[in-house]
A and B are shown apart, each in its own frame.
Chain A
């Protein structure tokens, strides 16, 4: 426990090195929403206030919650692992008493805890203050639960992507391409239910929508919170699906990790 707190303390100090970055994001995020609001207001005004299942308010709330969600689940494990493998410094992790995976998850907890304090909470206040007219107050409690599962899912996905570095060394572009696919299939760019039916079907077979799209749907009360009509279309079904994906990705991550350890030679570039 003492070790873990030590790791978290170091990570917090490291994350706080470039503070301007966090403050600036607090100015830029509302600016982005202002622009999104301008564009979508025009679309909604011309389409009689309705685009598929969305009203202007629900879509703006979707984007606001999306912004908070992506900040909370942000993960730098793949980038970190790539760097360590490329420069050969990963070797030091094999000599340390705590594994890379262990320190990475602690790093993420520390990093995101700081993000809650200096990024997410101030942003919530700014959003509510500036976009109160559009903001829908949803189900924070169930959203928070779903977000915790999304946090773990995000870590496992990025850990698996990071292991590709043991094969190709420089995987910055691969990480970028995966990032694009994840953003597209998780509903960061646009809610998944606005995509054509074929794409929606494809995204249903992937774990990515449980990172952003489904937690936001939970927030927007699109799922029932009672089990009177069974498990289907309830928040519990979403939680269950998230847990199943965590289990599947955990198995994949373990397999990838054990193969990677056999490949690693500690040379670096």
Chain B
């Protein structure tokens, strides 16, 4: 484990230094990544300025939820979100062979080599929004915000399994950018509290595909009282992570180095 962490740190450092060789382009790129996350906030602002909003939720409470969502998403994208992009590239170009030759755990090497330097801005942007919203909500402490991020750890595991499942999918279909469209659509849902949806939707995305664990459940746990579904969804996440890893290794055996 220590080996993997040190390898990850080394890889992240190298990739950031590489990107920093074209500093201005890198900073513009960081800014553009942040821009893409503004859409959710713009829509939220428009919803609250032109309607009553969502039942039982103030503007700043949902802004806090969205801030947490972007922070966690930024963290996950930077750490292992690159596996989607990398899967597309290595399969199309047939360069997955290089990873097969390396003397480390295959999945760990693949994830580490996929570190995404651009998405760091999403993480910091999300933190800024979270802090801003928390300051606007009465009686919310730093401890409460830390508690939210603690609950989000399960959400991070969930996102890891989603990214690995999508990598498996790309291995099967060779080249597709549609997985990003799929993720973006799914993430729209994660930007809102589970309580505004019907019971069936809420249960599906809390227990079966626990998307609400990324931000909705953690924020609801702190602002609206502990949700018992948190425990059920923890088991779902563990099952999803196990299946995704097993499936990834199984799929990798079908790789034929041909490119596409």
Contacts and interface: CB of A to CB of B under 8 A. Distances in A.
A38 interface: yes
Interface in B1-51: 22, 25, 28-29, 31-32, 35-36, 38-39, 42-43, 46-47, 49-51
B66 to A, nearest CB: 12
B176 A24 contact: yes
Nearest to A21: B176
B150 interface: no
A21 B32 CA distance: 25
A269 to B, nearest CB: 11
Contact of B43 (A170, A189, A196): A189
Interface residues of A, number: 31
B178 A42 contact: no
Contacts of B175: 18, 20-21
Given A31-B185, A46-B51, A170 B25 contact: yes
Contacts of A36: 188
Interface in B164-196: 173-178, 181-182, 184-186, 188-189, 192, 196
A24 B181 CA distance: 10
Interface string A2-15: 00000000000000
A31 B187 CA distance: 12
Contacts of B181: 25, 28, 32
B54 A42 contact: yes
B36 A51 contact: no
B211 to A, nearest CB: 10
A42 B53 CA distance: 9
B102 interface: no
A180 interface: yes
A195 interface: yes
B199 interface: no
Contacts of B43: 189-190
B6 to A, nearest CB: 32
Nearest to B35: A180
Given A31-B185, A36-B188, A190 B54 contact: no
Tell me what chain B mostly uses at the interface: helix, strand, loop, or mixed: helix
A36 B189 CA distance: 8
A177 B36 CA distance: 9
Given A32-B185, A35-B189, A194 B42 contact: no
Contacts of A51: 47, 50-51
A20 B182 CA distance: 14
A196 B49 contact: yes
A35 B178 contact: no
Contact of A20 (B29, B176, B198): B176
Contact of B192 (A21, A31, A39, A180): A39
A228 interface: no
A176 interface: yes
A184 B42 contact: yes
Most B Cβ at <10 Å: residue of A25, A32, A39:
A39
A43 interface: yes
A244 interface: no
A213 to B, nearest CB: 14
A46 B55 contact: yes
A58 to B, nearest CB: 14
Contacts of A52: 50-51
A247 B254 CA distance: 54
A180 B182 contact: no
29 contacts: A18-B174, A20-B176, A21-B175, A24-B182, A25-B181, A28-B182, A32-B184, A32-B188, A39-B189, A42-B54, A42-B192, A42-B197, A43-B53, A46-B55, A47-B51, A47-B53, A51-B47, A51-B51, A52-B50, A170-B22, A173-B29, A174-B28, A176-B32, A177-B31, A177-B32, A177-B35, A180-B32, A189-B39, A190-B42
| Top-5 shortest CB links A-B | A24-B178, A47-B51, A32-B185, A42-B196, A51-B51
Given A28-B181, A32-B181, A180-B32, 5 more contacts: A18-B175, A20-B174, A25-B181, A32-B188, A196-B49
